Amino acid sequence: MAWNEPGGPGDHDPWGGRGRRQPPPDLDEALRRLQQWLRGLFGGGGGGGERRVPGPGAGGGLLLVAAILAWLAYDSVYIIQPAERGVVLRFGRYVATLQPGPSIRFPRPIEFVERVNVDQIRTVEIGYRSEGRKSVPVLSEALMLTQDENIVNVRLAVQYKIKSPQDYLFHDRRPDLALRKAAESAIREVVGKSQMDFVLKEGRSEVAARTMVLLQSILDRYQTGLQVTSVNLQDAQPPEQVQEAFLDAIRAREDQDRMINEAEAYANEIIPKARGQAARIIEDANAYRAQVVARAEGDASRFEQVLAAYRGAPEVTRQRMYLEALQDVLAQTTKVLVDVPGGNNLIYLPLDKLVAPPQQQMPKTPQLPQIDQIRKRAESMVRSQANARSRNLRSRGEQR
């Protein structure tokens, strides 16, 4: 007969009676046992003649309570360091930010405090990666296109810190990676709006400043909670393939600048001298003009005075003018010939030798042949003068 055949005995269940319905547990009995266990845990006794349930004992209960109180005290008191801020989460939701110092909050799992270091300076590198003392280039980040369609190799270092802990933790999932991407985008935009020579030479500081402003505006718009402290343009060079040609162009430009500076220095040196000489010539000309005008005015005044004197005494004035003229003429000559009336000798006075200062060194003694020649020439000159004088006297006598 099958186990489920009608009319058969009821104990033919193949599961061994599992399917039989059990009576529900007595709730009152469960509560009574729990109360007895708690009394035994905290040292109480059962009343009404009830049987006491064995427990861990009064000493174990006190230790458990002390451990719970110590855990609550440890998990509720927070000491925030000066460089930190504490972000309080209540059931996972932001409620407050703790400042440096001690604070008391609800223990976990009610509240949780996330510590954030806001004074730590972090660094992100664009175009290269530092590995110890070496730097490995990252060409995918370093190569950038300028406004004049040239390619430059740029290396940038950005330093930043956290200014808003709640934004840093909750508004962006990966704020550090967002800053790296934003820095690369900012430097590419600034380089793309600048000429190649400007980026490589005099515009490095301006490129870094413009990149810092643009990067900070991007971070604020994304609410990353980060603040850029400095942007340093580590290096800006042309690509390696054209490095030598570019260096030659730079050397030529430096030579040009050097020559221009030397020319400007020479101009700055010679122009003041020329202006000084021109001013001196002008002053000399003015002085000469004033001198000539004054002399002409003085001569005119003197002539008028002489004219007035001549009108008053013509003979005396004429004789005086004659003597002054002779004095002026003879003052300019160094040779004087004196002719004595009635004499045959013509006296020669070498005034240039008489007026000349004595020489420091004795003249060399001429040789005997030279002295004889001088003597002969002097005798011939004396004879010729005497002959001429005698002929003049003879002609005067014949005329008489």
User: What six digits make up the tokens of 398?
Assistant: 């014949």
The residue count of the chain comes to 400
Q: Which of 178, 193, 187 is closest to 157 using CA atoms?
A: 187
Backbone φ and ψ of 61, nearest 5°: -65, -40
DSSP code at position 149: S
Cβ contacts of residue 96 below 8 Å, gap of 6+? Answer: 88
- Between helices 243-312 and 314-330, what is the axis angle to 10°? 140
Residue with tokens 């430059």: 152
Q: Beta-carbon neighbour count of residue 191 at 10 Å?
A: 26
For residues 186 and 215, the answer to whether their CB atoms sit within 8 Å is yes
Per-residue pLDDT 10s for the chain (400 aa) are 444 444 444 444 444 444 444 555 566 676 677 667 666 655 555 444 444 444 444 556 677 777 777 777 777 888 889 999 999 998 888 999 999 988 888 888 888 888 999 999 999 999 999 888 888 999 999 999 999 888 999 999 999 999 999 999 998 889 999 999 999 999 999 999 999 889 988 889 999 999 999 999 999 999 999 999 999 999 898 888 888 888 888 889 889 999 999 999 999 999 999 999 999 999 999 999 999 999 999 988 888 888 888 888 888 888 888 888 877 777 776 666 666 666 566 566 565 566 556 555 555 544 445 556 665 666 566 566 656 655 655 555 555 4
Cβ contacts of residue 322 below 8 Å, gap of 6+? Answer: none
Chain segment 356-368, per-residue pLDDT in tens = 565 555 555 444 4
